[in-house]
Amino acid sequence: MSDLCWCGSGKLYEVCHKPIEEKMQAFQKRGCTVPNREMLKTPAQIAGIRKACEINTAVLDEVAKHIKTGMSTEEIDQLVYKFTVSKKAIPAPLGFCGFPKSVCTSVNDQVCHGIPSKDVILKSGDIVNVDVSTIYGGYYADASRMFEIGRVDKAKKDLVAITKECLNRGVKAARPWGFVGDIGAVISEFAHKHGYSVVKEFGGHGVGVQFHEDPFICHEGRRNTGMLLVPGMIFTIEPMINTGTDKVFVDEENEWTVYTEDGGQSAQWEHTILITDTGAEILTY
């Protein structure tokens, strides 16, 4: 008698994950790196992650309603905390590896992991990335948006727009039975075409059951390289694009905030995506 599939779908293994795993084994025999079972989310896990993602999107929508000139990044943090807990969810960054706040707010030349502060006041002309991560029912979601504060010059507007298009192209490249390198290839090609650089030290990552899981998603890459993309994988794509050098450094004082080495501007957009049988489904906005 055939067994039920290990994923808990209630379907027979023969018609559920067996065809997928046999295809993975064929790629593995060709020397490809393939995900393990833990990286293929079960139907129950996907359902839980979807709920976390819905709340995560609602948090970012709430930020979009209120962010403005004269607002401190500490006020953004308080807004994120209060709204998240009102949904019976938890801000994932708070206390993660000692991170002191509920959200990352990275302004202008800050690449990522900016720590909210009452001393950082948003002014007209700033661009700021608000990176929200949410835990709900034990499952994780992660996404970020760029916000233009007041009157922003063309150079910054172009950077924000090109970075968003990098994300869109990366999502389109994330197809079942493709490779992680396909994502980085299309992102880096588009960014370089427009004269920008791509941060390599930080990238996307598996997410859902934990805050950070495998695989690492580098936003520089070569097609047909890296881990095989298989239906059921959930990870973030979050290109960090700079106007100048791709070199970055971490603030020695707070040991978190990442800056561009040359003081150039940086932008980032992020989605959590699910690899399906036909492509990539965006779970967060």
3-state secondary structure of 186: helix
pLDDT mean over 267-277: 98
pLDDT for 285 beyond 90: no
**Packing angle of the helix pair 154-173, 180-193 (nearest 10 deg):** 150
- The better pLDDT of the pair 160, 1 is held by 160
Amino acid 281: pLDDT: 98
pLDDT for 156 beyond 60: yes
pLDDT digits (tens, 9 = 90+) for 223-270: 999 999 999 999 999 999 999 999 999 999 999 999 999 999 999 999
CATH architecture observed for domain 37-282: Alpha-Beta Complex (3.90)
What is the sign of the dihedral through the CA atoms of 172, 54, 120 and 152?
positive
pLDDT mean over 100-110: 98
pLDDT for 152 beyond 90: yes
Amino acid 1: pLDDT: 45
pLDDT for 2 beyond 90: no
What single string gives the DSSP state of each residue in 101-138? SSSEEEETTEEE-PPP-TT-B--TT-EEEEEEEEEETT
Amino acid 157: pLDDT: 98
pLDDT for 17 beyond 70: yes
pTM value > 0.95: yes
**Residue 237 amino acid letter:** I
pLDDT digits (tens, 9 = 90+) for 135-147: 999 999 999 999 9
Question: How far apart are the C-alpha atoms of 243 and 195, rounded to whole Å?
Answer: 7
Question: How far apart are the C-alpha atoms of 43 and 47, rounded to whole Å?
Answer: 6
130-163: burial string, b at 16+ Cβ within 10 Å, e else: bbbbbbbeebbbbbbbbbbbeebeeebeebbebb
**Residue 76 amino acid letter:** I
3-state secondary structure of 148: strand
pLDDT mean over 177-190: 98
pLDDT mean over 167-196: 98
Amino acid 68: pLDDT: 98
Which region holds residue 284: left if phi is over 0, alpha if psi is between -120 and 50, else beta?
A: beta
97 CB-near residues (< 8 Å, 6+ apart): none
**Contacts of range 221-225, beta carbons closer than 8 Å, 24 or more positions apart:** 221/180, 221/181, 221/182, 221/183, 221/184, 221/185, 221/187, 221/188, 222/181, 222/184, 222/185, 223/179, 223/181, 223/182, 223/185, 224/179, 224/181, 224/182, 225/179, 225/180, 225/181
pLDDT mean over 77-85: 98
